Amino acid sequence: MKKIVICGSTGSIGRQALEVCEWFPQQLRPVALVGGSNIELLAEQVRKFKPEAVALADENKYAEFKRLLGDVPTEILVGEAGVLQAAAWPGADMQVAAISGLAGLKPTLQGLAAGLGIAFANKEVLVAAGELVMEQVVAGDSCFLPVDSEHSAIWQCLGAPARPWEAQPAVASLLLTCSGGPFREADAATIAAAGPQETLRHPTWQMGAKITVDSATLLNKGLEVIEAHWLFNLPYERIEAVIHPESIIHSLVQYQDGASLAQLSYPDMRLPIQYALSYPERWPNQLRPLNFAELASLTFQKPDEQRFPCFHLAREAGLAGGTMPAVLSGANEALVAAFLAGRIRLGQIAEGLAAALEAHQSTAKPDLQAIVQADAWARAFVAEWLTRHAF
């Protein structure tokens, strides 16, 4: 029996992680849940899974949450201190790190410090604080396993090593695939003028609003390149991306002898979530295996950085290092929120990102405080930028 903490249990990854736990009640038990503002769903999850503890990030909602929860015998923790306590819950074996954005950094570090294995699903944490996080990962004995479908695919193609960041001398390059989002064939003017309604119509994956927008701009793929750099300890020039509309091949590893290994499956996040939780075992489940006779074709194309400038900006921020990736992540979160609120068009996300990155004075080898300050600076910069560019 593995005892699981799910940080971000009401989000897309958290909900699917609980579904996987429900498939394997004899092997997986959620012992602590961490949620944010969706207290109705959080209370429903607590009533269903009866964890030992639940942490509510918004302490102002404690009274209402307590009323919704009723007499379920679960310890209620509140605020940042409560979140951090739940993130390293005593007796837990693994944490699903699925709190979105930089808010997931401290809980991830807390879980690592407590010796929990981490099923890692928050790319912004490695983007903003990759060096800081990986120093703690490498120094410890805890497993740090990717949940993103692309990084899980690479990890599996490497043979699923317990420490995937250690040297892989036979690897020539990594190739991250992406669907291309809803604007894969659209011209630059159409992409730039797009609003939330058409942007959220992802052709393949069912995801949260923020990551769906990131997929539409290809910023998400740029973030994943940075994540892969840290997780697999390879230089940026050996990490590429390719558009693969069918979303069957989830990523590839190209070896020095010319061989390429790929991981294939129908698009379903529950598969990489399950493997991170069941590792090193593979458990039979109810997911549909590939029917190769049904696959008419698998196609690929290079990302067009002219139509999708966010991808280029992300790579440049990763290469620059220091606090530049933290600024990229924080500014993007603020810009996507403004876009979803109808204040800017899709093309303005790249404009705002470029302005923030150009204005920022980077700090080399940032500590936790410097990363948090860079994130706050980026959000303040965007807030001021929006006063001049929002409509």
Look at residue 282 and tell me if it is in a domain: no
pLDDT of residue 206: 66
DSSP 8-state secondary structure symbol assigned to residue 371: H
Residue bearing tokens 């091949």: 249
- Amino acid identity of residue 39, one-letter, is I
The pLDDT mean for the chain works out to: 95
Domain-ending residue, one of 100, 115, 147: 147
Look at residue 279 and tell me if it is in a domain: no
CA of 81: how far to CAs of 36, 88, 110, 369, 380, in Å?
A: 14, 11, 11, 17, 25
Domain-ending residue, one of 303, 319, 335: 319
Residues of the domain holding 17 = 2-147
When divided into structural domains, the chain yields a total of 3
111 and 159 housed in the same domain: no
pLDDT of residue 296: 86
CATH, residue 376: 1.10.1740.10
Look at residue 278 and tell me if it is in a domain: no
Band (pLDDT 50/70/90 cuts) for residue 262 is very high
Look at residue 81 and tell me if it is in a domain: yes
315 and 387 housed in the same domain: no
Instruction: Please write the tens of the pLDDT for every residue from 7-53.
Output: 999 999 999 999 999 999 999 999 999 998 899 999 999 999 999 99
170 and 220 housed in the same domain: yes
Task: List, in sequence order, every beta strand (DSSP E) within the chain.
Answer: 2-7, 28-35, 53-56, 75-78, 94-97, 117-120, 144-146, 171-178, 239-243, 249-255, 260-264
pLDDT of residue 211: 87
Contact 110, 207 (CB under 8 A): no
Q: Would the pTM of this model clear 0.85, i.e. be above it?
A: yes
Instruction: Please write the tens of the pLDDT for every residue from 209-255.
Output: 888 999 999 999 999 999 999 999 999 999 999 999 999 999 999 99
Q: Alpha-carbon distance 360 to 323, whole Å?
A: 9
135 and 107 housed in the same domain: yes
40 and 52 housed in the same domain: yes
Domain-ending residue, one of 122, 147, 172: 147
Mean pLDDT of 97-117: 95
171 and 301 housed in the same domain: yes
33 and 52 housed in the same domain: yes
pLDDT of residue 310: 97
Instruction: Please write the tens of the pLDDT for every residue from 264-282.
Output: 999 999 999 999 999 999 9
Mean pLDDT of 378-391: 95
CATH, residue 46: 3.40.50.720
376 and 326 housed in the same domain: yes
87 and 109 housed in the same domain: yes
Look at residue 277 and tell me if it is in a domain: no
Q: Alpha-carbon distance 65 to 220, whole Å?
A: 33
Instruction: Please write the tens of the pLDDT for every residue from 137-196.
Output: 999 988 999 999 999 999 999 999 999 999 889 999 999 999 988 899 999 999 999 999
350 and 221 housed in the same domain: no
Look at residue 166 and tell me if it is in a domain: yes
7 and 128 housed in the same domain: yes
12 and 29 housed in the same domain: yes
pLDDT of residue 205: 63
